[in-house]
Structure formats: structure tokens, C-alpha cells
Chains A and B, each alone.
Chain A
């Protein structure tokens, strides 16, 4: 069945280091992928997205990589800051008017 999963439930990094959060998906028909950040007490916040006709997209301090061959998605955060501490979700749109979410990875940034 459809699933979007995360390899690591928690990730701890030193402030200033780069962070990499990974995600696996199983639906080869998915053509739109999104990363969200959720802080305590708030709803998920859009970070960056990528369509299946691309393999890399960059934003401000963030990069998303898509490897369709192995159905893998990753989010790279450069120069991680304490404000980046949150839960990160990958999500895929299956084309059926719904977006499904992975389990989430909690990122801890140590000062």
C-alpha cells in the first residue's frame, strides 16, 4: 500500500552543522513531494517542495533531493540553527486529492 516513511525518528546535530533528514516513499506514481516543519503548538509549516520531473531544488538554507530510482527523498538544512529544532515531515501527493504524510523526524539542535 501507499506509505511515506522516515529512516530516523530523531536527529541531534550541533549548531552550525548541516542536517540531513531522509524519507522513503513507496508509491511510484506520486509526482509531488513536500517537506513541512512543525513546531510545538503549531500546525505544520511548508518548507520546500519538488516535482517528480526534478531531482534537486534549493531554497534558503534548505535543499530537497529526490531519487526516483530508489524512491528516496531528503531534506538538507545548511548551518543548522536552534530555531530549526522541530519535527520535520515529508509528504507526497498521490494524485487522488490527498496528501499523505510520513511519521516525522524530530530534529534537536545543540548550542
Chain B
């Protein structure tokens, strides 16, 4: 079974631009979660989707948004990029939230200049 796939692997953007990251979950997994990973803050929860519905959201500004499609694929968008948005963005899928582990992709490394 193929793992979680994230595209692109690397991305360089300038301040003020917007960016869209993509995630394809493991087949059969309906829950998709997004995390931001930085050296200073560790793994910070962004949001979780299940059956196209956002069920939880972390403490991030409204510039961070996401969606999930009917095939469980997910995208996240960051608008008006800031230097502090430079991070590794990780997507994870799971069968269920609450009692099954997250399976992560290798992330998208975003650099904002």
C-alpha cells in the first residue's frame, strides 16, 4: 500500500505570496491532519479533516486554510506569506482520529524569503 504523498517536496516563495500544498493519504484513510514543524516550536497542529469536514483547528491565523476532497485528498493554503511561515509542513492520514496512529508523509519544505 502506498504511503502518504506530499507535493511539492520543496518550495521557495517571497513574502506576500500565497502557496498551496497537496497531500494524498493512504488508500482507505479518511482522516487527514496537517502539522507545521519548526525547530523552535516543534510539531504544531494546524487542522484535521474527515469526510470533507474540518473537525478541529489549531491556533493559527486565518491565513492558514485547508480543504479535503471527496477522494480524501487534501490541500492546505497559506496566503500573504510571512518569513515566519518558513517551516516543514507535514500531512498525516489515519483510519480514525482517537485510536489509530497517524501516518505521515515526508513533508513540504517551505522557505519564505
Q: Tell me the A residues contacting B by CB distance below 8 Å.
A: 31-32, 34, 36, 41-46, 49, 51, 89, 91, 93, 95-104
Q: Which residues of A contact B103 (CB under 8 A)?
A: 46
Instruction: Given A44-B104, A93-B97, decide whether A99 and B45 contact each other with a Cβ distance below 8 A.
Output: yes
Instruction: Given A43-B106, A43-B107, A45-B104, decide whether A98 and B42 contact each other with a Cβ distance below 8 A.
Output: no
Q: Are B43 and A97 in contact (CB under 8 A)?
A: no
Q: Which of A31, A41, A99 contacts B102 (CB 8 A)?
A: A99
Tell me the minimal C-beta distance from A98 to chain B in angstroms.
5
Q: Are B43 and A34 in contact (CB under 8 A)?
A: no
Q: Are B101 and A34 in contact (CB under 8 A)?
A: yes
Q: Are B92 and A43 in contact (CB under 8 A)?
A: yes
| Interface presence of B98 (CB below 8 A) | yes
Q: Are B48 and A98 in contact (CB under 8 A)?
A: yes
Q: Which of B45, B56, B58, B105 contacts A43 (CB 8 A)?
A: B105
| Smallest CB gap from A103: residue in B | B42
* Bound Cα distance from A89 to B56, whole angstroms: 21
Q: Mark B72-113, 1 if CB is under 8 A from A, else 0.
A: 000000000000000000101000011101111111000000
Q: Are B99 and A44 in contact (CB under 8 A)?
A: no
Q: Which residues of A contact B48 (CB under 8 A)?
A: 97-98
B 17-40 contacts with A by CB, 8 A: 31, 33, 35
**Interface residues contributed by chain B, number (CB under 8 Å):** 24
* Bound Cα distance from A25 to B56, whole angstroms: 21
| Smallest CB gap from A35: residue in B | B101
* Bound Cα distance from A49 to B102, whole angstroms: 11
Q: Which residues of B contact A97 (CB under 8 A)?
A: 31, 48, 50, 55-56, 97-98
| Smallest CB gap from A45: residue in B | B104
Q: A44-B102, A46-B103 are in contact. List 16 more A-B contacts (CB 8 A).
A: A32-B98, A36-B102, A41-B106, A43-B105, A44-B104, A45-B104, A46-B102, A89-B42, A95-B98, A97-B31, A97-B55, A98-B97, A99-B45, A101-B35, A101-B43, A104-B42
